[in-house]
Amino acid sequence: MLTATELQFPSISAIPWGLPSPLATVPAADTAPFVLIGVLLSLVVVYLTSKLGGELSKRFNLPPVLGELVGGVVIGVSALHLLVFPENGAAAGDSQLMTLVQWLGHLTPEAIATIFESQSEVISVLAELGVIVLLFEIGLESDLRELGKVGYQAAVVAVVGVSAPFALGTLGLIALFHVPVIPAIFAGAALTATSIGITSKVLSELGHLKSREGQIIVGAAVIDDVLGIIVLAVVASLAKTGEVDLLNVAYLILSATGFLLGAILLGQFFNKSFESIAERLQTRGALLIPACTFALVMAILASTIHLEAILGAFAAGLVLDETDKRKELDQQVMPIADLLVPIFFVSVGAKADLSVLNPAVADNRAGLGLAAFLIAIAIVGKLVTGWAVFGQPGINRFAIGAGMIPRGEVGLVFAGIGTASGVLSKPLEAAIIVMVILTTFLAPPLLQWAFQSRENELAVEEVTPGVELVRLED
Amino acid sequence: MLTATELQFPSISAIPWGLPSPLATVPAADTAPFVLIGVLLSLVVVYLTSKLGGELSKRFNLPPVLGELVGGVVIGVSALHLLVFPENGAAAGDSQLMTLVQWLGHLTPEAIATIFESQSEVISVLAELGVIVLLFEIGLESDLRELGKVGYQAAVVAVVGVSAPFALGTLGLIALFHVPVIPAIFAGAALTATSIGITSKVLSELGHLKSREGQIIVGAAVIDDVLGIIVLAVVASLAKTGEVDLLNVAYLILSATGFLLGAILLGQFFNKSFESIAERLQTRGALLIPACTFALVMAILASTIHLEAILGAFAAGLVLDETDKRKELDQQVMPIADLLVPIFFVSVGAKADLSVLNPAVADNRAGLGLAAFLIAIAIVGKLVTGWAVFGQPGINRFAIGAGMIPRGEVGLVFAGIGTASGVLSKPLEAAIIVMVILTTFLAPPLLQWAFQSRENELAVEEVTPGVELVRLED
């Protein structure tokens, strides 16, 4: 190696200073390697949390996803501040991980602010890919024919599950709490949506995804998501113009129905071509890449017609479930889900700001009263859906109701839009957030309990004649 | 559902306008869903490209990764502009995908600029995760004991492969092209590094990863990467202060050696605990999550001591290769690699700007002469390494030399730092880029040809006695 002293430098003073040396302070433009380090550190924290939380939950005989959510709360904005997001109002200095990265790289405050934004963006997208993969997997595990059989029941459960909490919540807030009409409608709307991600994950963990109850819940949650988007559009245009844009509502209903029916019809045709494509490919990922590309295209399609991306992924899974390659595909999607899905659940926990539960803050006290009411409505309004199921004697009505309870991220979207538009007062916003958090955390153990208590009951009574009757009809 | 006309609105004028309705123009703050759509669209384009390119390449009996690289060029900054990156100087308007997203969401130019930055950041990180997974997989497929056996040969190949092109390149540029000393040293340094990603992928595709030649190449490429980082530190401090910071160089050499030896020693200890951890876990991903967390931790450690993250992932793979669960783990890592690795190779192609090859531009003409010289040195300087191997009679020296040729992203890092610091003239910068692109694209077919011609030779001559001798010594 040539050393500097052996060479003559013709124009050393002409070379600008500030060239990055590996150990020197790094200028803002060279943040890319630190974004990667930030993402890698976040992933390590997420995986340690998800395994610790999941395993502990399992040891206490609770669904592992509950442990992942609680673990997320522990590392998130409510406690350790290891994983925080700008959407919670956090800056780079609020993140313990970013403080570590800044120290490691001797970074300026501006550089670490850029890195924090990028790292949060990447983790958020990875979390979204996680819930997309989750719903794709749920779709692969669901049977389109079985789902079709419970279609009417699912639709009834969804409609009751949207209208009961909406009506009870809105009217209750107006009558009991004297909340003005528009904020009351907003809060009522936030009570409507069901988080399909959390419910389906718990069902899958309990081994009840393919039961009649499980299929009704999944079907109802899908329809519920579509209804929720329509409710959001109605409420948003109400708040904006004081009128409902009926054209927009009609467009949403038509496009959503068209999408779901189109996916099913397309499925019959696509199955054959998918298999022949996968068989002709000779390079690695011959089955997985076409399948995932299809799921991504469906997710994009769903997004562009203003549905949720996860509905597209679920439809893609349903379609590919019909192919002969289902089992092989299932096995290859599993490790991908194992890696991506925990990022979603831990992030949901990390973003949940439990400080709104602190009764020492005056704003919270007003909110906690509202919250108690909203939680009661949120639970009762969904539990009744189980008793709306008809023609299914012997079905576990309590489990169906419990499965519809978690509001998850969809409820937070309502709260976020309401706050951004200035419609919601601070206590009402806090109350909605508390309601979303509690229903999300309450649903997994409740659902497990609903299935277990019923199984014990059945074990005593043996199988009821009603169940036998339905089985024969199939 | 309550309609607006049935309700009295107490304070409709107090509600601010601009509330996002799904069909209205979206303000800059609500870009998150479009970042996701942008990422999903990019992934669809990447997967279609990688499969089309890979399969075509395979049909022409060439390594699939070459097709992925060329496919990347077609969709990238050189041709279709579907996938472009800000680091190429591209803006949102240069990206066809972003134009589509802007049209879909009725977005403002400011909103789409933000989305473009975020989408590029996410795809870049996914590409980096791709090459991390690739090296983890290569590590899992490599055998530490086999690698140890060819350790001395690999070290010699690496040292020759760094010093020969560096000396020939620097001196040739000074003597033949009258380039000043500092830029000449920079260009010479850019000739040193080997892209372990491309070489190991081709070796794996050809089924030669575990051959003696393959193990020497992988080992040499790892050492080469470490040497390249030391060369970069030397060159950077030379350009900055005119002197070599010997303390920094000593630190880099010590930390790199310490890291690789430490990983191997730690491996012996970690294997046992890893297996017992994986066996005790009861939730999904019991094997995969601890393994990937370990790989991520090693990648972070490597990054923080200023090595490349991929070296850490490779070391993690080597360590876990020794466990009993290797096969199961291998099978679970494979689908993840199938999804992430193409993002890396297609991105490398997409970022390669072939417009520097256009001889109609005056700057390029000066650069093309320099480029021809650099390419010749780049190939000759690495091919000779094959003949530096000792004590291995009958080894395929040509294949080893060919395996060391691709410069890949590491060469581009040199060019980028050189340009940022103003050391490199425009023609010299273009020449380095052309050299990196051509060596990267030339290496896969050359490596394949090297192995095939030798196999034909051996098929005629039968096995040479030299090979037998070495096998007995083992």
The Cα A119–Cα B167 span in angstroms is: 40
pLDDT, one tens digit per residue, over A435-457 is 888 888 888 899 999 988 877 77
pLDDT, one tens digit per residue, over B167-187 is 999 999 999 999 998 889 889
At residue A255, what is the residue type? S
Between A18 and A269, the more confident residue is A269
The Cα A399–Cα A212 span in angstroms is: 11
Helix and strand counts by DSSP (H, E) for chain B: 18, 0
**Pick from A215-229, A376-390, B100-114: least confident:** A215-229
Q: Mean per-residue pLDDT for B378-390?
A: 91
Confidence check: pLDDT of A11 > 70: no
Give, in order, the Cα–Cα distances in Å from A42 to each of A123, A406, B274, B286.
8, 26, 21, 19
Indicate yes or no: CB of A283 within 8 angstroms of CB of B51: yes
Nearest 5 degrees, angle CA A217-CA A220-CA A221? 80
Confidence check: pLDDT of A17 > 60: no
- Residues of chain B with pLDDT > 70, as a percent, come to 87
pLDDT of A432: 87
At residue A368, what is the residue type? L
Task: Check CB contact of A6 with chain B, cutoff 8 Å.
Answer: no
Interface of B with A in 337-366 (CB under 8 A): 337-339, 342
pLDDT grade, residue B452 (50/70/90)? confident
Q: Is B306 left (phi over 0), alpha (psi -120 to 50) or beta?
A: left
Nearest residue on chain B to A15, alpha-carbon basis: B423
The Cα A379–Cα A400 span in angstroms is: 12
pLDDT of B36: 94
Confidence check: pLDDT of B28 > 60: no
pLDDT, one tens digit per residue, over B93-120 is 999 999 999 998 889 999 999 999 999 9
pLDDT of B230: 79
pLDDT grade, residue A332 (50/70/90)? very high
Is residue A449 within 8 A of residue A398, CB to CB? The reply is no
Query: Residue B61, SS3?
Result: coil
Confidence check: pLDDT of A26 > 60: no
The Cα A98–Cα A106 span in angstroms is: 12
Q: Mean per-residue pLDDT for A218-239?
A: 80
The Cα A223–Cα A201 span in angstroms is: 17
**Sign of the C-alpha dihedral computed for residues B435, B438, B440 and B443 taken in this order:** negative
The Cα B153–Cα B158 span in angstroms is: 9
Is residue B51 within 8 A of residue A281, CB to CB? The reply is yes
Indicate yes or no: CB of B64 within 8 angstroms of CB of A181: no
Give, in order, the Cα–Cα distances in Å from B254 to each of B258, B301, B310, B411.
6, 14, 19, 24
Between B351 and A100, the more confident residue is A100
How many Cβ atoms are within 10 Å of B51's Cβ, its own excluded? 23
Indicate yes or no: CB of A297 within 8 angstroms of CB of B239: no
pLDDT of A24: 36
The Cα A172–Cα A232 span in angstroms is: 20
Q: Nearest Cα to B342, choosing from B66, B1, B95?
A: B66
Q: Mean per-residue pLDDT for B65-76?
A: 91
The Cα A407–Cα A273 span in angstroms is: 38
The Cα B221–Cα B161 span in angstroms is: 9
pLDDT, one tens digit per residue, over B326-341 is 889 999 999 999 999 9
pLDDT of B122: 96
pLDDT of A105: 86
Q: Nearest Cα to A355, choosing from A420, A437, A415?
A: A437
- Residues of chain A with pLDDT > 90, as a percent, come to 37
Task: Check CB contact of B409 with chain A, cutoff 8 Å.
Answer: no
pLDDT, one tens digit per residue, over A261-319 is 888 787 777 777 888 888 899 999 999 999 999 999 999 998 888 777 888 898 899 88
Interface test with B, best of A48, A65, A231, A338 (most B CBs within 10 A): A338
| Contact partners, residue A426, CB within 8 Å, separation at least 6 | A363, A367
Confidence check: pLDDT of A16 > 80: no
Q: Tell the burial category of A279 from Cβ atoms under 10 Å away from its Cβ (0-12, 13-18, 19+).
A: exposed
pLDDT of A458: 67
pTM for this entry: 0.85
pLDDT, one tens digit per residue, over B271-312 is 778 888 888 999 999 999 999 999 999 999 988 887 778 888
Chain B nearest C-alpha distance from A466 (Å): 35
Confidence check: pLDDT of A12 > 70: no
CB nearest B3 (choices: A11, A122, A244): A244
Q: Which residues of A180-204 are buried (b: 16+ CB within 10 A; e: fewer)?
A: bbbbbbbbbbbbbbbbbbbbbbbbb
Q: Mean per-residue pLDDT for A420-448?
A: 84
pLDDT of B433: 81
pLDDT grade, residue B458 (50/70/90)? low
pLDDT of B242: 67
Q: Mean per-residue pLDDT for A247-261?
A: 82
Indicate yes or no: CB of B421 within 8 angstroms of CB of A16: yes
pLDDT, one tens digit per residue, over B226-238 is 787 778 777 777 7
Pair of tokens at residue B196: 């372990």
Is residue B338 within 8 A of residue A289, CB to CB? The reply is yes
Indicate yes or no: CB of A248 within 8 angstroms of CB of B23: yes
pLDDT of B6: 32
The Cα A346–Cα A356 span in angstroms is: 19
Indicate yes or no: CB of A238 within 8 angstroms of CB of B284: no
Residue that the structure tokens 């099978």 belong to:
B331
Is residue A393 within 8 A of residue A469, CB to CB? The reply is yes
| Contact partners, residue A244, CB within 8 Å, separation at least 6 | A234, A237, A238, B3, B4
DSSP per residue, B219-231: HHHHHHHHHHHHH
**B12 interaction partners in chain A (CB closer than 8 Å):** 182, 242
Task: Check CB contact of B20 with chain A, cutoff 8 Å.
Answer: yes
Nearest residue on chain A to B117, alpha-carbon basis: A118
How big is chain A by its Cα radius of gyration, in Å? Answer: 25
Report, in this order, helix, strand and coil percent for chain B, each rounded to 5. 80, 0, 20
Give, in order, the Cα–Cα distances in Å from B417 to each of B128, B230, B307, B420.
19, 15, 17, 5
Indicate yes or no: CB of A338 within 8 angstroms of CB of B300: no
**Pick from A334-338, A404-408, B418-422: least confident:** B418-422
The Cα B2–Cα B23 span in angstroms is: 21
At residue B7, what is the residue type? L
Pair of tokens at residue A399: 């489990």
* Mean pLDDT, chain A, whole residue set: 82
Nearest 5 degrees, angle CA B49-CA B51-CA B54? 100
Query: Residue B462, SS3?
Result: coil
Q: What CA dihedral angle connects B377, B378, B381 and B384, to 10 degrees?
A: -120
pLDDT of A463: 46
Q: Mean per-residue pLDDT for A316-342?
A: 91
The Cα B333–Cα B288 span in angstroms is: 8
Question: What are the helix (H) ranges across A305-325?
Answer: 309-320
Confidence check: pLDDT of B464 > 80: no
Confidence check: pLDDT of A406 > 90: no
Q: Mean per-residue pLDDT for A43-55?
A: 97
Indicate yes or no: CB of A44 within 8 angstroms of CB of B240: no
* B62-71, B372-381, B392-401, B460-469, range with greatest mean pLDDT: B372-381
Q: Nearest Cα to A126, choosing from B448, B49, B118?
A: B118
**Pick from A56-65, A137-146, B120-129: least confident:** A137-146
Indicate yes or no: CB of B339 within 8 angstroms of CB of A283: no
Chain B nearest C-alpha distance from A469 (Å): 36
Task: Check CB contact of B301 with chain A, cutoff 8 Å.
Answer: no
Is residue A341 within 8 A of residue A74, CB to CB? The reply is no
Confidence check: pLDDT of A179 > 80: yes
Interface of B with A in 98-157 (CB under 8 A): 104, 118, 121-122, 124-125, 128-129
Indicate yes or no: CB of B21 within 8 angstroms of CB of A233: yes
